[in-house]
Amino acid sequence: MKRASLMVVSALFALVSCAPQAFVVSPEMRGPSKSGLNLAGKSLAVVYLTDGNPRDDAFNASAAGGFATRLEEDYFGGDRAVGLFTARGGKGVDYASKDSLVSLVMETGNDVVFVIDTPELGVPVVKEPVRVTGARVSADSSYVSVVSVPFTTKIFVYDSMNKEDRVFGFAGGRNFKAEIYSDGKKSKEDILKEVWSNIAPGAESSGYAAASSFQATWKQDDFYVIYYDGAESAWDKGAEYAYSYKWKEAISQWTTLLKCKSDEKKACAAYNIALGCFLCGQPALALEWLDRSDSYTPVSLSMSLREKIKKYTGTE
């Protein structure tokens, strides 16, 4: 949900003629994930561990793929932006230690690294076959057996930009299910062989589900856009674009105002550009523009925008 409202900001500057005004925009902002980690605006990598067991390795490879896919959907609009890596696990390797994960951050070149430990696969439960109804199927696929496989795993996370500077550990268990079609006479042993040989779909779904704890939460927040009434046309055009949440177009208008002779107007334009950059997902660039705004003359709204940038990027 988006909303905007108009207001006059009387305290932006001391009493001057043609004082700037502002209106409020209220976009939905990405907050920390349910896990408490704030991943917005950071580069991510997923490292899955192998131990030489073909079943475990196949499970982890597919689970890591599903995990990465969900992160990409939530933070990168579905683009393939999450790095996927593998590392040797097992005895003598401690990925719960900070040194190990810092090393992975340096090796992968990403801000945040997730390490998916080797799974512990439990004893599968095979239900009795049930006849398939409502569809024409061949005799050798006329029955379906549902298999439930319990597993537990651990996920270690290190965020190089998090002020706590430590490894976060998460552990959990669930079941993944597989449907095996047959003529109804297949033995449980043969059904399990088929499950293990085609473990990828269930493992991928499990990894996708596990990533839900790291999806962002959302809430509405208020931000101020500055404009001058009856001044350069770029103020009106920029305000119109901002009112419609078209930040790139608004930034292009505000950039032209940096040619103004008035330091006050240049400061306000640079502040607006900073806001646009932040709401386009570029917090570091936004802070640079706030510095530039301050270099012209202080704008009282700059401080609150700085604080919000720190809050949403987890750098408070």
Residue 180: strand, helix, or coil: strand
Closest CA to 20 of 221, 303, 239: 239
Reading the block at residue 129, the tokens are 């076959």
Residues near 11 by beta carbon (within 8 Å), at least 6 away in sequence? 300
Residue 228, phi then psi, degrees to nearest 5: -115, 130
Closest CA to 151 of 128, 126, 173: 173
Give yes or no for a contact between 72 and 79, defined as CB atoms under 8 angstroms apart.
Answer: yes
Residue 57 has what pLDDT? 95
Residue 315 has what pLDDT? 67
Residue 240 has what pLDDT? 96
How does pLDDT run across 186-245, given as a tens digit for each residue?
Answer: 999 999 999 999 999 999 999 999 999 999 998 899 999 999 988 899 999 999 999 999
Reading the block at residue 5, the tokens are 């409202």
**Domain 4-27+223-313 part of CATH 1.25.40.10:** yes
Give one DSSP letter per residue of 27-58, joined into a string.
-EEEEEETTS---TT--EEEEEEE-S-HHHHH
Reading the block at residue 153, the tokens are 């795993």
Percent of the chain with pLDDT over 70: 93
Residue 185 has what pLDDT? 93
Give yes or no for a contact between 182 and 145, defined as CB atoms under 8 angstroms apart.
Answer: yes
CA distance 111 to 188: 46
Query: In the predicted model, what is the mean pLDDT of the chain?
Result: 90
Residue 92, phi then psi, degrees to nearest 5: 85, -5
CB atoms within 10 A of CB 271: 29
How does pLDDT run across 240-262, given as a tens digit for each residue?
Answer: 999 999 999 999 999 999 999 99
CA distance 153 to 173: 6
CA distance 150 to 208: 16
* pTM for the model: 0.74
- The tally of CA atoms less than 13 A away on the side-chain side of residue 152 is 6
CA distance 130 to 80: 39
Residue 9 has what pLDDT? 42
Task: Specify the amino acid at residue 290.
Answer: L
Give yes or no for a contact between 11 and 2, defined as CB atoms under 8 angstroms apart.
Answer: no
Give yes or no for a contact between 49 and 118, defined as CB atoms under 8 angstroms apart.
Answer: yes
How does pLDDT run across 7-65, given as a tens digit for each residue?
Answer: 444 344 434 446 899 999 999 988 889 999 989 889 999 999 999 999 999 999 999 99
How does pLDDT run across 70-122, given as a tens digit for each residue?
Answer: 999 999 989 999 999 999 987 777 888 899 999 999 999 999 999 999 999 99
Sign, CA dihedral 130-133-135-138, equals: positive
